[in-house]
Structure 1
Amino acid sequence: MRTHDLHPSEPPSPVVSRGAEGELPGSAEDCRRQSALVANDPAEQDILNAIEATADHSGWQ
Protein backbone atom coordinates (compact mmCIF):
# COMPACT_ATOMS: atom_id res chain seq x y z
CA MET A 1 0.00 0.00 0.00
CA ARG A 2 2.77 2.42 0.82
CA THR A 3 4.25 2.03 -2.65
CA HIS A 4 1.11 3.71 -3.99
CA ASP A 5 1.20 6.46 -1.34
CA LEU A 6 -1.68 4.78 0.46
CA HIS A 7 -1.65 4.46 4.21
CA PRO A 8 -3.53 1.98 6.34
CA SER A 9 -6.66 3.56 7.70
CA GLU A 10 -7.98 3.35 11.19
CA PRO A 11 -11.66 3.43 11.97
CA PRO A 12 -12.64 6.73 13.52
CA SER A 13 -13.03 6.73 17.26
CA PRO A 14 -16.50 7.69 18.41
CA VAL A 15 -16.78 10.99 20.17
CA VAL A 16 -18.41 10.35 23.49
CA SER A 17 -19.64 13.34 25.38
CA ARG A 18 -21.89 13.52 28.36
CA GLY A 19 -25.36 15.00 28.17
CA ALA A 20 -26.62 18.02 30.05
CA GLU A 21 -27.14 16.00 33.23
CA GLY A 22 -23.77 14.27 32.93
CA GLU A 23 -25.05 10.92 31.65
CA LEU A 24 -23.32 8.95 28.94
CA PRO A 25 -25.19 8.49 25.65
CA GLY A 26 -27.02 5.19 25.63
CA SER A 27 -27.06 4.92 29.40
CA ALA A 28 -30.24 3.90 31.17
CA GLU A 29 -30.68 7.44 32.48
CA ASP A 30 -30.36 8.89 28.98
CA CYS A 31 -32.84 6.36 27.60
CA ARG A 32 -35.35 7.25 30.32
CA ARG A 33 -34.84 10.96 29.66
CA GLN A 34 -35.39 10.57 25.91
CA SER A 35 -38.44 8.36 26.42
CA ALA A 36 -39.99 10.95 28.73
CA LEU A 37 -39.41 13.65 26.12
CA VAL A 38 -41.49 11.85 23.48
CA ALA A 39 -43.99 10.08 25.77
CA ASN A 40 -46.85 12.50 25.10
CA ASP A 41 -45.79 13.72 21.67
CA PRO A 42 -48.59 13.12 19.12
CA ALA A 43 -46.02 12.66 16.36
CA GLU A 44 -44.46 9.80 18.33
CA GLN A 45 -47.79 7.98 18.42
CA ASP A 46 -48.22 8.53 14.67
CA ILE A 47 -44.80 7.02 14.05
CA LEU A 48 -45.50 4.04 16.31
CA ASN A 49 -48.84 3.46 14.55
CA ALA A 50 -47.13 3.57 11.14
CA ILE A 51 -44.48 1.10 12.27
CA GLU A 52 -47.10 -1.25 13.68
CA ALA A 53 -49.19 -1.03 10.50
CA THR A 54 -46.26 -2.01 8.30
CA ALA A 55 -44.55 -4.49 10.62
CA ASP A 56 -44.30 -8.09 9.48
CA HIS A 57 -44.99 -10.31 12.47
CA SER A 58 -45.09 -13.54 10.49
CA GLY A 59 -42.90 -16.19 12.02
CA TRP A 60 -43.02 -14.66 15.50
CA GLN A 61 -44.60 -16.63 18.29
Structure 2
Amino acid sequence: MDIWERIRYARDQALEAERTERRRLDEADTNELQQAASVRLATRQAVREALDDILDESTDPEA
Protein backbone atom coordinates (compact mmCIF):
# COMPACT_ATOMS: atom_id res chain seq x y z
CA MET A 1 0.00 0.00 0.00
CA ASP A 2 1.54 3.32 -0.99
CA ILE A 3 1.41 6.53 1.02
CA TRP A 4 -1.54 7.98 -0.95
CA GLU A 5 -3.62 4.87 -0.35
CA ARG A 6 -2.80 5.06 3.36
CA ILE A 7 -3.81 8.73 3.50
CA ARG A 8 -7.02 7.95 1.60
CA TYR A 9 -7.76 5.10 4.03
CA ALA A 10 -7.18 7.40 7.03
CA ARG A 11 -9.46 10.03 5.46
CA ASP A 12 -12.18 7.45 4.86
CA GLN A 13 -11.92 6.30 8.48
CA ALA A 14 -12.16 9.91 9.67
CA LEU A 15 -15.21 10.40 7.45
CA GLU A 16 -16.92 7.36 8.95
CA ALA A 17 -16.08 8.56 12.47
CA GLU A 18 -17.52 11.97 11.56
CA ARG A 19 -20.76 10.34 10.48
CA THR A 20 -20.87 8.40 13.75
CA GLU A 21 -20.44 11.61 15.74
CA ARG A 22 -23.23 13.27 13.74
CA ARG A 23 -25.54 10.40 14.73
CA ARG A 24 -24.46 10.69 18.37
CA LEU A 25 -25.10 14.42 18.28
CA ASP A 26 -28.60 13.81 16.90
CA GLU A 27 -29.29 11.19 19.57
CA ALA A 28 -27.83 13.12 22.52
CA ASP A 29 -30.46 13.76 25.15
CA THR A 30 -28.49 15.98 27.53
CA ASN A 31 -26.58 19.19 27.06
CA GLU A 32 -23.35 17.49 28.21
CA LEU A 33 -23.70 14.72 25.64
CA GLN A 34 -24.45 17.25 22.92
CA GLN A 35 -21.38 19.30 23.80
CA ALA A 36 -19.12 16.25 23.90
CA ALA A 37 -20.41 14.97 20.56
CA SER A 38 -20.04 18.44 19.07
CA VAL A 39 -16.38 18.65 20.11
CA ARG A 40 -15.65 15.18 18.75
CA LEU A 41 -17.47 16.03 15.52
CA ALA A 42 -15.43 19.20 15.03
CA THR A 43 -12.21 17.25 15.60
CA ARG A 44 -13.14 14.49 13.16
CA GLN A 45 -14.22 17.07 10.59
CA ALA A 46 -10.93 18.95 10.89
CA VAL A 47 -8.94 15.74 10.38
CA ARG A 48 -11.01 14.75 7.34
CA GLU A 49 -10.72 18.20 5.80
CA ALA A 50 -6.94 18.24 6.33
CA LEU A 51 -6.61 14.87 4.64
CA ASP A 52 -8.88 16.05 1.81
CA ASP A 53 -6.54 19.02 1.36
CA ILE A 54 -3.48 16.76 1.25
CA LEU A 55 -5.17 14.55 -1.35
CA ASP A 56 -6.61 17.55 -3.23
CA GLU A 57 -9.99 15.79 -3.08
CA SER A 58 -13.35 16.56 -1.57
CA THR A 59 -15.62 14.29 0.45
CA ASP A 60 -19.22 14.81 1.45
CA PRO A 61 -19.89 13.86 5.08
CA GLU A 62 -23.62 13.87 4.44
CA ALA A 63 -23.42 11.21 1.70
TM over 0.5, yes or no? no
Identify, as 1 or 2, the structure richer in helix: 2
Q: Which has the higher Rg, Structure 1 or Structure 2?
A: 1
The structure showing larger relative contact order (alpha-carbon pairs under 8 Å, at least 6 residues apart) is 2
Superposition TM-score, scaled by structure 1 size: 0.29
